[in-house]
Amino acid sequence: MARANSLRKLRAIVTSRKNADNLSARVRRTLVSTLYTNPASLAIGAFNGIASTAIAAWVAELPVLYVGCVILTIIAVARVTAALGLSPDKAHRSTRQLEFIYEIGAFSYALAIGTIAAITIWYEASAAVEVLMVANALCYGVGICARNAGRPNIALGQLTLVCVPIMIVSLMIGSLAFIALFVNMVLLIPAMSSITMNVFKVLRDSIAAAETSAQLADKMQTLARTDVVTGLANRAGLNHAMVETMMEIEKDTRLALIWIDLDKFKEVNDLLGHPVGDRVLSEVARRLRDVCPEGATVARFGGDEFIVFGKISDRMESERIASEIHAEIMRPVRIDGDRLEVRASLGVAVLPEDGRDADTLMQSADLALYHAKVGGRSQTRFFDPSMTRDLIRRREIEGELRAAIANDELSIFFQPIIDLETGKIRCFEALVRWFHPEKGELRPDEFIPVAEETGVILTLGNWITAQAARAAAQWPEDVSLAVNLSPLQIRAPGAALGILNALREARLDPTRLELEVTESLFVDDDPASSAFIEELAGRGVKFALDDFGTGYSSLGYINRYPFSKIKVDRSFVSGENVGKKSDAIIRAVAEMGSQLGMEIVAEGLEEVEQVQKVKEAGCTLGQGYYFSRAVPDYLAMMLLAQEREEGIPIRASA
């Protein structure tokens, strides 16, 4: 029964050892490292053993014990040195090596201390010396089981090696007391085995549990830093990678940050659905990963924006990577046999010249991207310090513009548009002016684009239309009002209604209003634009195509929308590029106008010769400083009054 029991225990020890060997490498290393923690306890134990042996040798006058003393000292010194030099945190040795080195020291020390105790018994040293050395050996054996429970095979091996010499000698002497000592030790070994194994299991399980939760935490962190759609780093992942890179870079390291924004990606989502949108994003992500250098971070910054961030050797390299990225994205994407064209705008900034830390670098790349988008999209822009100055000025203007409307700093000026045949005023174009208390008069070219980008144009535009309509209501019925409209104003919800309301409030007939739009309105092919034009044209409002010749000059738009006027841009009339070609173009446009029953306005007429030329070319209307600059409403009234009462055309010579 007892044999079966101890067999079972032995089997349990063997299987748990097997399990112990199956432990994950990290758990095992942690356990092995417990062997090396606190080398001081090792030194104290060794000192105790050596001192006791020395005392025993002296008291019992047994020279062999002096030999034992020397052996213990050699082993102790070697072990303490090894423990200090081989701390597992520092040592690059394998776990098995560390364990083996420890085993040699531990086993030889245990055997030595057990043998010394056995010798004192064998040579029948005094009872006190025997007690001292046996107690010393057994205390060591039991204590070591507790200390080394992390590696139970070592602990139990040591206990056994301590006990075996004493047990052999006890048997050899064979007296009742020593037989009893023998039995005690036979019982001690399995008892200590069971205790040690229990401690070991608790230790192992808690380390394994800690290990598992650490792994889980790792996994969660990786998930939290990954974008689900593309598998790239997400915003958090990018931040993390940036912080890490910034910490490890040296002084002369260069980094490039490329900010990529897919052009009009919203349309892909709206027209083809989100699943297709996601596939396009995944494909773009895959291409980015392929084309980016190793070690670079590729992240999806949200929506249709991506960021590539990595070390480069020089600025040229960032240019090369950016152009490769651009080329890769522009390759059509195939989805279920359909070809999709993807376009992207890129903004690039380089550390250290465009920003010394991650935040400034991001701002610079963002600004460069903004310029790429404003500059017509599908292009790459590199950060330039002037972009910051632009931005500061824009921000200033943006803030002040909102206040300007309330503070009455804005006013509407009117520039006449003249019938080239009769010299009479047919229309006034409303042009906004900003009289800034500090900066003086600001041109619309400076603040209208800011108003457009920031959306202030909606408030501003409504105000302009209302003011201009009120002034125009005072003019004779046959003089019309031209108002410039930005695409944003036209696409805003309720835009047409807003204009009709302004007309009603000012009591101006819709047929007297002419809205000037540029071709940029049609580029995006927004259905809201067509709806706006159709609705207002239905109420009698007229439309003029402004700045003709500067954009696409597509005849398609002229055909599609009910324009009553085409305004030929002033660059065809004045400036260095004016010549035979521009004459021919004006002629062709004028010819087309007369065929289609449209009026052709020549803009920017400053000289009498220019007036004569455009008239000969067939333009029906003219506008420019030659006739008049844009003037305040009361002067516009005066011009009209002069013309009507005195019958003097604005420029008789025209």
Exactly one of 547, 599, 633, 643 binds Ca ion (CB under 5 A); that residue is 547
Residue 450: closest CA among 440, 442, 441: 442
- Distance from CA of residue 84 to its chain's centroid? 46
Burial per residue of 211-229, b for 16 or more beta-carbon CB atoms within 10 angstroms, e otherwise: eeeeeeeeeeeeeebbbee
Window 513-572: residues binding ligand C2E (CB under 6 A): 516, 546-547, 570
Helices and strands (H, E) in the chain, number of each type: 24, 16
- Judge if the upstream peptide bond of residue 332 is cis by omega within 30 degrees of 0: no
Distance CA 464, CA 413 (A): 10
**Which does residue 83 bind out of ligand C2E, Ca ion, none, counting CB within 5 to 8 angstroms by kind?**
none
Exactly one of 484, 489, 529, 620 binds Ca ion (CB under 5 A); that residue is 484
Any residues with CB less than 8 A from the CB of 522 and at least 6 apart, and which?
529, 554, 557, 561
430 binds ligand C2E (CB under 6 A): yes
534: its two tokens: 């159709």
99 binds Ca ion (CB under 5 A): no
Exactly one of 114, 150, 310, 624 binds ligand C2E (CB under 6 A); that residue is 624
Integer Rg of the chain from CA = 46
What is the nearest approach in angstroms of ligand C2E to the Cβ of residue 429? 7
- At residue 346, the 3 state secondary structure works out as strand
Distance CA 185, CA 177 (A): 12
On whether the CB atoms of residues 415 and 468 are closer than 8 A, the answer is no
- Pairing of β 563-568 and β 542-548: parallel
What is the nearest approach in angstroms of ligand C2E to the Cβ of residue 409? 14
What is the nearest approach in angstroms of Ca ion to the Cβ of residue 548? 8
What is the nearest approach in angstroms of ligand C2E to the Cβ of residue 653? 16
What is the nearest approach in angstroms of ligand C2E to the Cβ of residue 408? 16
625 binds ligand C2E (CB under 6 A): yes
Q: Which helix (H) or strand (E) holds 297?
A: strand 297-302
489 binds Ca ion (CB under 5 A): no
Window 585-614: residues binding ligand C2E (CB under 6 A): 604-606
- Partnered with residue 312 across adjacent β-strands are 254
Nearer to Ca ion, 547 or 599 (CB): 547
What is the nearest approach in angstroms of ligand C2E to the Cβ of residue 606? 4
Residues 467-506, mask of contacts with ligand C2E (x by CB under 6 A)? -----------------xxx--------------------
Nearer to ligand C2E, 257 or 630 (CB): 630
318: its two tokens: 């960032």
Nearer to ligand C2E, 148 or 415 (CB): 415
Q: Which helix (H) or strand (E) holds 638?
A: helix 633-641
What is the nearest approach in angstroms of ligand C2E to the Cβ of residue 443? 5
**Which does residue 624 bind out of ligand C2E, Ca ion, none, counting CB within 5 to 8 angstroms by kind?**
ligand C2E
DSSP single-letter state for residue 571: G
Nearer to ligand C2E, 261 or 516 (CB): 516
**Which does residue 486 bind out of Ca ion, ligand C2E, none, counting CB within 5 to 8 angstroms by kind?**
ligand C2E
**Which does residue 630 bind out of Ca ion, ligand C2E, none, counting CB within 5 to 8 angstroms by kind?**
ligand C2E
Exactly one of 630, 636, 640, 654 binds ligand C2E (CB under 6 A); that residue is 630
> Using CB under 5 A, which of the segments 23-31, 269-277, 391-399, 478-486 binds Ca ion?
478-486
- At residue 298, the 3 state secondary structure works out as strand
441 binds ligand C2E (CB under 6 A): no
Q: What contacts 24+ positions apart, CB below 8 Å, involve 449-454?
A: 450/394, 450/397, 450/398, 450/401, 451/401, 451/486, 452/486, 452/487, 452/488, 453/374, 453/394, 454/398, 454/401
Q: What is the DSSP string of 426-439?
A: EEEEEEEEEEETTT
Distance CA 248, CA 311 (A): 11
> Using CB under 6 A, which of the segments 14-22, 39-47, 211-219, 439-447 binds ligand C2E?
439-447
Angle, in degrees to the nearest 10, between helices 274-291 and 315-330: 140
What is the nearest approach in angstroms of ligand C2E to the Cβ of residue 619? 14
> Using CB under 6 A, which of the segments 235-243, 424-432, 507-515, 588-596 binds ligand C2E?
424-432
464 binds ligand C2E (CB under 6 A): yes
Nearer to ligand C2E, 309 or 627 (CB): 627
546 binds Ca ion (CB under 5 A): yes
Nearer to ligand C2E, 149 or 630 (CB): 630
List residues near Ca ion by CB under 5 A.
Answer: 484, 516, 546-547
List residues near ligand C2E by CB under 6 A.
Answer: 415, 430-432, 443-445, 448, 464, 484-486, 516, 546-547, 570, 604-606, 623-625, 630
